[in-house]
Copies of this chain bind each other. A is one copy, B any other.
Amino acid sequence: GSPFVSLLLALSCCQGLHHNNIDDYVEAEPVFQASKYGSLWPLPQKVQISEVSFKLSSASFRIVDAKASSAGPSCSLLQSAYRRYYEYMFGSAKKQWGSKNNRRSDPSDLTELQVWITSPDSECDGYPSVTSDESYELTVNQPVAVLKAPTVWGALHGRIYSIYFHCQIISYFPFSKSINATIINDFPRFQHRGILLDSSRHFLPIKVILSNLETMAMNKINVFHWHIVDEQSFPYLSRTFPQLSEQGAYHPYTHVYTPADVKMVIEFARLRGIRVVPEFDTPGHTQSWGKGQKDLLTPCYSGSKPSGSFGPVNPILNTTYDFMAKFFTEISTVFPDGYIHLGGDEVDFTCWKSNPDIQKFMEQQHFGEDYSKLESFYIQKLLDIVASTKKGYLVWQEVFDNGVKLKPDTVVHVWIGGRSDKEMSNVTAAGYTTILSAPWYLDYISYGQDWQKYYKVEPLNFEGTDEQKKLVIGGEACLWGEYVDATNLTPRLWPRASAVAERLWSAKNVTDIDDAFNRLSLHRCRMVERGIPAEPLFSSYCLHEYKGV
């Protein structure tokens, strides 16, 4: 058909244009129009969509390993992805599967997607990492489409993409679908594209975490930063120190993550190309740790007597470091990712200052009145402990600001708003790798289309050399949990985090806000169709509305 017609059809895939004739309106409203990229999100680095289109039928279409692929039927990561994507494309209506006799395909049908992993090592049984090659090429042609990728990680993105993109460039006739001939060449702009979820302020049931991992994959997010414990509760069930969650969780049975839960989260994420980076934040943000671990926290004093309350981790006791060594040894084996987030933010010195033993220690160490030296003392020892487990680490920006000696491969996490560009400048000038979160605190909500604010952020918009800019490996959208639990997390996160996802994946010059509105409107309907309660951008509808309540 003509290009115009096929584009319209493509759009009607996820959000109809029917009755959307907003030109008639008196009030000024965002005008939904067809993007020439349909609902592609995040936008690939390079796309060519042809006018030629092919038919797609669930009865004849198959996703198969290419003959030359280094990943075959034994690669369960890909095989389960194939099943998932087939269902995305055609729904779970298995009735559509024809019997052998029924499986005749039209000569104009697209009947196969061949997946071709080109590196000798497909990395099928490994874990994604910060250096994974996530690139892929997708060529949709008749009768066969080919998805080429060096590793499964690219194939997964391409795969997901191919589906999105199938959905995007698929046109829904009443009972059949069609797809445009297409060539996509794609790779991420940034390697680290993360989302922080906080399971301490409110416990997040596993089901919520899994369905958000699924949604992260739909958005090419590749890092789940699991802010698993904090002041309020300690839901991580430690094999070595079970009393931490027994005493520190909101409830010792119903509000904890067992080793099996954690394992399931990690594997579910791996199958979708997502790293799980756990955060165990110390020495501040640790009230819940103190409930199950005697003497771990600093006793605060009121005058000459202990007040009964506790401050940050006690940095002057050997037992503290014995505990941390054992604890992080466990963590380093439970979480396969190469990195652990060690926190280090917002340490309140009030309690340390009140404690006479700490005061004495400060004198002995010649720290004077500079408690940030004490903080650095603690962090330094902690970093050495964690380094001995062969893990890399991420830390919040205060650790850098306080001049702690860091391993060269440390990732500094910039979160403080206002002049985060200056901080990016400083961190990279010092030669450290960095990720940005300051403009992407999604727990802060406001009326209207705040996704645009997140979308307009340019992470490299700071003073620095090209070398410095290369040290920015990405960013994270943070959804802190004070006001968020299973009841409202998903619609609050999506599609607002999708804006961050495109910023971190697509080319720097992908900044057309109207085109983004049009594509994102469809992308959010696609999430809704897959059962994810992603909230609307503005007055609109989806062909298939959210069915839950």
Chain A interface (Cβ < 8 Å from any Cβ of B): 16, 18-19, 23-27, 201-203, 205, 207-208, 211, 231-233, 247-251, 254-255, 287-288, 290-291, 300, 308-311, 348, 350-351, 443-448, 481-488, 490-492, 528, 531, 533-541, 543, 545-549
**Residue in B closest to A524 when the chains form the complex, CB atoms:** B487
Least CB distance, A291 to chain B, in whole angstroms:
7
Chain B residue at minimum C-beta to C-beta distance from A441: B447
Q: Contacts A26-B350, A233-B541, A541-B203 known; A485 to B19 CB distance under 8 Å?
A: no
Q: Which of B254, B309, B487, B531 contacts A546 (CB 8 A)?
A: B487
Copies in the complex: 2
Measured between alpha carbons, how far is A250 from B483 in the docked complex, in Å? Answer: 33
Which residue of chain B has the shortest Cβ distance to A346 in the bound complex?
A: B27
A-B contact pairs, 11 of them (CB 8 A): A25-B231, A26-B310, A202-B540, A255-B541, A448-B483, A482-B538, A482-B539, A485-B536, A486-B533, A487-B490, A488-B492
Give the distance in Å from the alpha carbon of A483 to the alpha carbon of B445 in the complex.
13
Give Cα A537 to B201, complex, Å.
11
Minimum CB–CB distance from A281 to chain B (whole Å) comes to 14
Given contact pairs A19-B291, A247-B19, A535 touches B488 in the complex (Cβ within 8 A)? yes
**Chain B residues whose C-beta falls within 8 Å of the C-beta of A531 in the assembled complex:** 549
How many whole Å from A144's CB to the nearest CB in chain B?
A: 35
Question: What residue of chain B has the Cβ atom nearest to residue A542's Cβ?
Answer: B485
Whole-angstrom distance between the Cβ of A213 and the nearest chain B Cβ: 11
Majority SS at the chain A contact face: loop
A263 to B549: give the CA distance in the assembly, Å: 20
Distance to closest chain B CB from A172 (angstroms): 13
With most chain B CB atoms within 10 A of its CB, the pick from A202, A534, A539 is A539
Q: Is the CB of B535 within 8 A of A483?
A: yes
- B536 and A202 contacting across the interface, CB-CB below 8 Å: yes
Q: A24-B309, A208-B549 are in contact. List 11 more A-B contacts (CB 8 A).
A: A202-B536, A202-B539, A203-B541, A232-B539, A254-B545, A484-B536, A486-B533, A486-B548, A487-B528, A487-B533, A488-B492
CB contact between A19 and one of B250, B482, B533, B541 (< 8 Å): that residue: B250
Contacts of A26 in B (CB 8 A): 231, 287, 300, 309-311, 348, 350-351
Q: Which of A207, A290, A535, A538 has the most chain B CB atoms inside 10 A of its CB?
A: A535
* Nearest chain B residue, comparing its CB with the CB of A485: B536
Q: From A300, A492, A534, name the one whose CB has the most chain B CB atoms within 10 angstroms.
A: A492
Q: Which residues on the B side are within 8 Å of A308 (C-beta)?
A: 24
CB distance from A330 to the nearest CB of B (A): 22
A27 and B288 CA atoms in complex are apart in Å by 13
- A448 to B, closest residue via Cβ: B483
Shortest Cβ distance from A312 into chain B, in angstroms? 8
Give the residue name and chain of the B residue nearest to A443 (CB). B447
Select one of B205, B251, B540 contacting A547, CB under 8 A.
Answer: B205
B233–A545 CB distance below 8 A: no
Contact between chains at A483 and B351 (CB < 8 Å): no
Q: Which of A208, A486, A546 has the most CB of B within 10 A?
A: A486
Whether A233 contacts B19 by the Cβ 8 Å rule is: yes
Known: A208-B549, A549-B486. A16 touches B251 (CB 8 A): yes
Task: Decide yes or no: A546 and B201 within 8 Å by CB, A23-B309, A311-B26, A541-B250 being known contacts.
Answer: no
Complex partner residue of A539 from B208, B481, B487, CB under 8 angstroms: B481
The distance from the CB of A202 to the nearest CB of chain B, in whole angstroms, is 6
Is B444 touching A485 in the complex (CB atoms < 8 A)? no
Say whether B535 contacts A487, CB under 8 Å.
yes
Within the complex, the shortest CB–CB distance from A206 to chain B, in Å, comes to 10
Partner of A486, one of B444, B539, B543, B546: B546
Docked CA distance A248–B531 (Å): 27
Cβ–Cβ contact B443 & A446, under 8 A: no
Complex CA–CA separation, A348 to B545 (angstroms): 32
Contact of A549 among B201, B207, B247 (CB under 8 A): B207
Q: Which 3 A-B pairs have the closest CB atoms?
A: A487-B533, A488-B491, A250-B541
Asked if A485 and B545 make an inter-chain contact with CB atoms under 8 angstroms apart, the answer reads yes
Q: Which B residues lie within 8 Å of A251 (CB)?
A: 16, 18-19, 541, 543
In the complex, A19→B290 CA distance in Å? 12
Q: How far is it, in angstroms, between the C-alpha of A350 and the C-alpha of B290 when the chains are bound? A: 66
Tell which of A251, A483, A487, A534 has the most Cβ of chain B within 10 Å: A487
Among B208, B444, B535, B538, point to the contact of A447 (Cβ < 8 A).
B444
* Contact residues in B for A492 (Cβ distance below 8 Å): 488
CB < 8 Å neighbour of A446 from B207, B310, B446, B486: B446
Instruction: Give bound CA distance, A348 to B348, whole Å.
Output: 56
Decide if A548 touches B548 in the complex (CB within 8 Å).
Answer: yes
Does the CB pair B18–A488 fall under 8 Å? no
| Minimum Cβ distance to chain B for residue A375 (Å) | 15
Pair A483/B538 contact, Cβ less than 8 Å: yes
Chain B's nearest CB lies how many Å from the CB of A428?
Answer: 30
Task: Verify B448–A447 contact, CB threshold 8 A.
Answer: no
